[in-house]
A and B are shown apart, each in its own frame.
Chain A
Amino acid sequence: MLGLGADRLWADMNRLLALLFHQGVLDEQFVQLQQLQDESSPNFVCEVVTIYFHESEKLLKNLRGLLMEREFSDYKKMGIHLNQFMGSSSSIGAKRVRNVCVAFRAASEQNNRAGCLRALELLEHEYCYLKNKLHELFHIEQQRLLAAGVRYPMQN
C-alpha cells in the first residue's frame, strides 16, 4: 500500500536525519528551521537550503579562485567570503561546514596559504557531503509527501 510506502519513507527520512545529527553534519539550528516550516511556509526548509546551496557554490568558487591565483595575497577578501559562508552555514545548521570555515578563517588570519588550501579542500568535501545528504533528505520527503498525498489526499 502506498500508505505503508509513505511510512517507510518517513522512517527513512528520520533515520537519515538522525544520522546527520549524530555525525555533526547538522545541528540544533536545523531543527529550528524545521520548526519554522508550517502551513504558512510549507517548503521553508527546502527553500532555505536551496538558497544556501546556490550562495555557497558561488562562495566556494570565489574562494577557490582566490587561492588558485598565482600571487594570492588578498586574505581580507577571503575573510569576507568566509565570514559569509560561516554565517549562512550556521544559520541553516550546517555545523561541520561551519567548523571547517572557522579553521579556514584561522589559517587565513595567519596568512597561511597552505593551510587555507587544505581548509578549502576540506570545506569543499564537507559541503559536498552535506549537499548530497540534504538532497537525499528532500528527495525522500518529496516521495513521502507524494505517497501520503496519493493515498490520503486530505492529509498532509
Chain B
Amino acid sequence: MTVEPIMDDSRDQFPIGMRVLAVDDDPTCLFVLETLLRRCQYHVTTTNQAITALKLLRENKNNFDLVISDVHMPDMDGFKLLELVGLEMDLPVIMLSANDDPKLVMKGITHGACDYLLKPVRIEELKNIWQHVVRRKKFDSKDSNNSGSQDKPHLGIGGGSGSAGTLSDPNGKLNKKRKDQDEDEDEEHDENVHDDPSTQKKPRVVWSVELHRKFVAAVHQLGIDKAVPKKILDLMNVEKLTRENVASHLQKYRLYLKRLNSMVNQQANMAAALGGTDSSYLRMGSLNGLENFHTLNGSGQFHNTSFRSFPPSGLLGRLNTPAGMGMRGLSSSGMNQLSHARSSSSSTVDQADSQQVIHPGNHNGDVLQGMPMTLGLDQLQHIKGVTHVRELSTAIDNRAIFPICSGLLDAKTNIGSSSNPLLGVANTTLMLEQNPQAVQGGEVFGNHSPVSLASLNSELSSPLLDHRRLNENWSTAAQSSGIHSNSFQLNDCFKQTTQSTMHQSNVRDDMSKRALQMGSNLHDVSSATSVSTELQDRRADMHCGASLTSSNAGKISNNAGPQGWVDHNPDSSYHSNVMCNTMNSMIPVQAAVGPFVQSSEPKNFHPDMDFNSIGESNFFDPSYTKHEEVNKSNVETSLKLKQGLRDQRKPQESYISSSFGSLEDIVTAMVKRVI
C-alpha cells in the first residue's frame, strides 16, 4: 500500500492532484490502475483490502476525493464498501469489475456508484473520473450552506444550482436533495451564519447505522409528530451532534416517511380498488413490517402522481436516478382493470399489496435520498418491500411505462419479502428484490392461470377473428389510452399462462434484467428498433417488420394511436403491438418477444420449429417448466407490456375487461397453434 502526501498546492489545479483511493484485491490490476491514475496526474493511494480502505477513509475523509473499488473482493463485498463509503463519507465511488453482467452494473448503480468501469480500464476513462468529484462537490456545496458540510472553496463551486444539481446528480446523496433542505434552510442557514459565517468548513456529521438507529429510536419514542430536534438530540445523547445536524436529518427522515406513507396509501387505495380493502393494506403493512407504515397507516390518499424512482436498497443516500417512476399512471381505473385482469380476489389482494408495495418503491426517491437510511439489516428486512420497489422503480424508466408490471412484481417481492431472507440490506440488489417479486408475480398469476387457460382453451374461435377483435379492442384501447393498455392486457394474459411455471431464479434474473433495461431508456426508439431487428433476425418468419415495430415503437413512445398497427393484419399488429410495447419498455425482449411473437403469428407457425430460443415453445404452454428462460422472457414481456400499458392509460374498466377477453381469445388461438 502506498500513501502519497497531500500537497495543497496541487489541489488548486484540480483535477490534477485529485486524491484517489484505489482498492482491488488483484495485485496486477491494482498496479496497472495505480500507474494509469498516476499518469492522469492524480494522487493515488492503493490498498488491496477493503477493510484497510475503510480505515483510511475513516481516519480522515478529507484525505480523498474519490474512491475506485473492485466489485469482487475477498474481505468485503465491493457493493458493501460502496454503501459504507457513501453513507459515512459521502465520497464518489467508482466500481470496477471484469464482469460486465448488467445485473452487477445495475447493482452498482443502485447502490450509489458514480460509475461502473469494466476491466481492462483504459486511461481515457480514468481521465474523466474527476467529473464525479466535481458533480458531488457541487451538490455538497449547495447543501453546505444549509447543513454546514464542508466545502472546497478552491474548486470554485458555488451553492448555486440547487435544483439542477439535484436533478443531475443521480447518486442522490444525503445532502443532495434540495427539497429536503428547503425547510431547514432557513434555520440552518441562520445558525450557520450565527455560528461561523466566514467559514464554510464544518465537520460533516456521518449518519452511521448506529447513529441513525438512535435517531429513529428517539423519534419513535417521542412520536413522529412530536419529534423536535432538541428533544431528539437529548434522547440520542450523542456527543458532538448539534441540533442542526439532527434537524436536517429529521427533515430528510420526514420526507422519507411521507414518501413511504403515500406509497402505502397508494397501495391501500389500490387494495381498496381491487377489492382488497383494509385487509390488504394492513397485510401489506404487516408484510413489510415497516414501523413507518404502521404509523402512517390510513392516510387514505390515493396518489396518482407519478413517482420518482426510488432509491434502491433503502440504504441511503446512494440513490441513483430519481428518474420518473414506473408507477406513474396508477389510477384507480387502472387498478380496476388490473383486478379485472385477475379475476381471483386473492390474487387481487396480492396484487394490491404488490402494487402498494411498488408504489412506495416508485415514490419519489428524493426522500430516501435525503435519508441516511442506515437502518440495520433487520430494519431493512422490514423495508424490503419498499426497497425492492425502489430498486425496481429505479430501474424503471421515468415514463412509468411499467406501472402494473412493476406493481405486480413489487407486490410479489413484498409478499415474499417478509419470508424471503434474501433481502439483505447491503446487497438488496435488484436481483434479489426482483426475485421475490417475480416469484410473487408468478404466484399471483398462477392463481389465474388455470382460469385463464381454461378460458383460453375454451374460446377457440377463428384466430383471425379473434385477432381482429383483439386488434379492434386494441386499437380502441390504444386510441383511448395508448398501446400500452393493450400490451398490458396481453401481458396479463400471457402472464397468467406462464405463471405456473415461473421459476424464482429465472424471474429473478428476468426482473433484474428487466429492471436494468427499464432503467435504460424507455424512449430509446433506436434500441427498440434494434430489439425488433433482433427479433426479426431470430424469427425469420416473423411478419413484424423492423420498420413496423420501430414505427410502432415510435408511436408508443409518442403515445400515439395505434394507427400503424391497426392497419396491419391482426397478427402482425398484435405482434408489433406486443413487440412495440416490449421494445418500448426497452427490455431486451428478444427471448421474450421472440417466442411471444412467434407463437402468436399463425402464419409463421412451424410445429417443428426449433424452440431453442428462450421461451418460444413454452410461451403459451402453462407447463413450460423446462424453459426457465421462457419464464424469464415472459415476465420480461409482461413487465414490458405492463409498463407500456401503464403509461397514459385511461382505459375504461369495461373496455379493459372486454379487451382482455379478446386477448384471451387470441392467446388461446395462439396456444392452439403453438401446441
Contact = CB atoms under 8 A, between A and B. Distances in A.
Q: Do chains A and B stick together as partners?
A: yes
Contact of A91 (B25, B28, B72, B99): B28
B35 interface: yes
Interface stretch (A13-21, A46-54, A138-146): A46-54
Interface string A67-99: 000000000000010011011101111000000
Contacts of B606: none
A136 B38 CA distance: 29
Interface string A4-43: 0000000000000000000000000100110010001100
A40 B27 CA distance: 20
B202 interface: no
A86 B72 CA distance: 12
B122 interface: yes
B39 A90 contact: no
Interface residues of B, number: 22
Contacts of A47: 31
Contact of B26 (A41, A88, A93): A88
Contacts of B33: 91
Contacts of A86: 98-99, 119
B26 A87 contact: yes
Interface in B6-63: 25-29, 31-33, 35-36, 38-39
B35 A91 contact: no
Contacts of A91: 26, 28-29, 32-33, 119-121
B27 A55 contact: yes
Interface string B60-94: 00000000001010000000000000000000000
Nearest to B28: A88
A90 B120 contact: yes
B162 to A, nearest CB: 40
B122 A32 contact: yes
Contacts of A52: 28
Nearest to B25: A84
A137 B28 CA distance: 19
A87 B119 CA distance: 6
Interface in B469-510: none
A92 B31 CA distance: 10
A48 B34 CA distance: 11
- Give chain A's interface residue range (CB within 8 Å of chain B): 20 to 34
A36 to B, nearest CB: 5
A32 B35 CA distance: 11
A36 B200 CA distance: 40
Given A87-B97, A88-B26, A48 B32 contact: yes
Nearest to A59: B26
A83 B28 contact: no
Among B31, B39, B123, the one with the most A-chain Cβ atoms within 10 Å of its Cβ is B31
A40 B121 CA distance: 21
B113 to A, nearest CB: 17
B52 to A, nearest CB: 18
Contacts of B98: 83-84, 86-87, 90
A103 B122 CA distance: 24
B454 to A, nearest CB: 37
A101 to B, nearest CB: 9
Contacts of A55: 26-28
Contacts of A51: 27-28, 31
A84 B39 contact: no
Nearest to B72: A83
B122 A84 contact: no
B1 to A, nearest CB: 15
- What 3 A-B pairs come out closest when comparing CB atoms? A87-B98, A88-B28, A90-B120
Interface of B: 25-29, 31-33, 35-36, 38-39, 70, 72, 97-99, 119-123
Given A83-B72, A91-B119, 15 more contacts: A32-B122, A36-B32, A44-B35, A48-B28, A48-B31, A48-B35, A52-B28, A83-B97, A83-B98, A87-B26, A87-B29, A87-B70, A88-B26, A91-B26, A91-B33
